[in-house]
Amino acid sequence: MPRRPAPGLRVFYGHDPIPAPGEPVAGGTAKFQRLASRFPNRPTDFTLLYLGSTWLPRDLRPLLLLARRRRVPIVVNQSGVAYPGWAGEATDEINRRFRRALLAADHVLYQSEFCKRSADAFLGEPRGSWEVLHNAVDVDHFTPAARPPSDGPVVLLGGDQTQAYRLELALRTFARLLAAEPEARLLVMGRLVSSPEPLIAELGLRGKVELLGRYAQRDAPDLLRRAHLLLHTKVKDPCPSAVIEAMSCGLPVVYPASGGTVELVGNEAGVGVPHADGWERDEPPPPDRLVEAVVKVLAALPTYAAAARRRAVERFALGLWLDRHAELFADLVRDAVPRGRSSRTR
């Protein structure tokens, strides 16, 4: 029987290295970057294995076996799942790795209530304990601008545009917004999966749209402060950190009313637009409905902006999130978690 590692908390995230503070991140790497600032990555002598479903290691199976042989507790941060609407025939194959990690976990952190429901439907219920813990941001780093932009209004499409419909919907929504707000501008952050230039030309948006490209976390607040509101076009988004970052900078959010985004924004920090919400295909709301929501937010922008900042600080501050991880890690390392049960801890 292999010996346990020496006592003490040492966390391994399944990858080496982890992006350093300020370096560009994508998807699940942002949370590992934040965690590693307090719990450094220890690939060799770890006493706790922490995995994220959006950034699972290639050697997942042998790593899980190693953790079990060492009797090291496993924590899984569970985000979304594959479903036919975006994954098509690859749904089962993608979910197989998610399921392997989730069922091996001693404790599962679901990023939203939506994440728990979708994981139960496509992966099964966890064998260990679990809780819902929304993502978090550094609210002292992501702060509102001293003064809102004087031109515009400026609409921001944040995050990475990894699905083509997200950018197309934003451009078509923005084109219709210009009828009500002819001085409006659109900023597009992050990676793109296809060139937007043909659609920009078709819609007559040249000179109105600025493509900001990929960015580092240290630069994100300044980019967010250039805008008045966030247009988030992804449907069924599990728990988008880009939304929390925008809210922390005082940007209200207009979005399709599905996924974990509903839990983040609530009733006061923006406007969700209802749409057909099924697993078989992604059907975002039409541009006209999103424009109505944008106009509504702009009409009461100071109220929405203040509520967005307040909600981010009260509910999604990084310090609270890290403190909860510290409590959980201490408990798991100190006490073995019995297998074969499913219970919510908080």
pLDDT tens for 18-53 read 887 767 666 678 889 999 999 999 999 999 999 999
Start-end of H helices in 88-219:
91-104, 113-122, 164-180, 197-202
pLDDT at 135: 96
**Secondary structure of residue 282 in the 3-state scheme:** strand
Residue 289 near residue 265 (C-beta atoms within 8 A): no
Q: How far apart are CA 198 and CA 157, in angstroms?
A: 18
Residue 121 gets the label, from left (phi > 0), alpha (psi -120 to 50) or beta, of: alpha
State the DSSP code for 275.
-
**Share above pLDDT 70 across residues of the chain, in percent, rounded to a whole number:** 93
The residue with greater pLDDT, 2 or 321, is: 321
List b or e across 163-185, with b for residues whose CB sees 16 or more CB atoms inside 10 angstroms: eeebbbbbbbbbbbbbeebeebb
Q: How does strand 229-231 pair with strand 209-213?
A: unpaired
Residue 105: partners with Cβ closer than 8 Å, 6 or more residues away: 51, 74, 75, 76, 126, 127, 128
DSSP 8-state assignment for residue 204: T
Region 59-80 average pLDDT: 96
- Please give the share of the chain, as a percent, with pLDDT higher than 90: 83
**C-alpha span between 233 and 164 (Å, rounded):** 11
State how far the Cα of 244 lies from the Cα of 251, in Å rounded to an integer.
Answer: 9
Rounded mean pLDDT of the chain?
Answer: 93
Cis ω before 17 (30° cut-off from 0): yes
Residue-wise pLDDT for 124-166, tens only, equals 999 999 999 999 999 999 999 999 899 999 999 998 888 899 9
Residue type, 228: H
> d(Cα 246, Cα 9) in Å, to the nearest integer?
33
Instruction: Give the E-state strand segments of the chain in sequence order.
Output: 11-12, 48-52, 74-78, 107-110, 129-132, 154-157, 185-189, 209-213, 229-231, 253-256, 270-273, 343-344
- For 253, the 3-state DSSP assignment is strand
**What pLDDT shows up at residue 19?**
82
Indicate the DSSP class of residue 236.
Answer: T
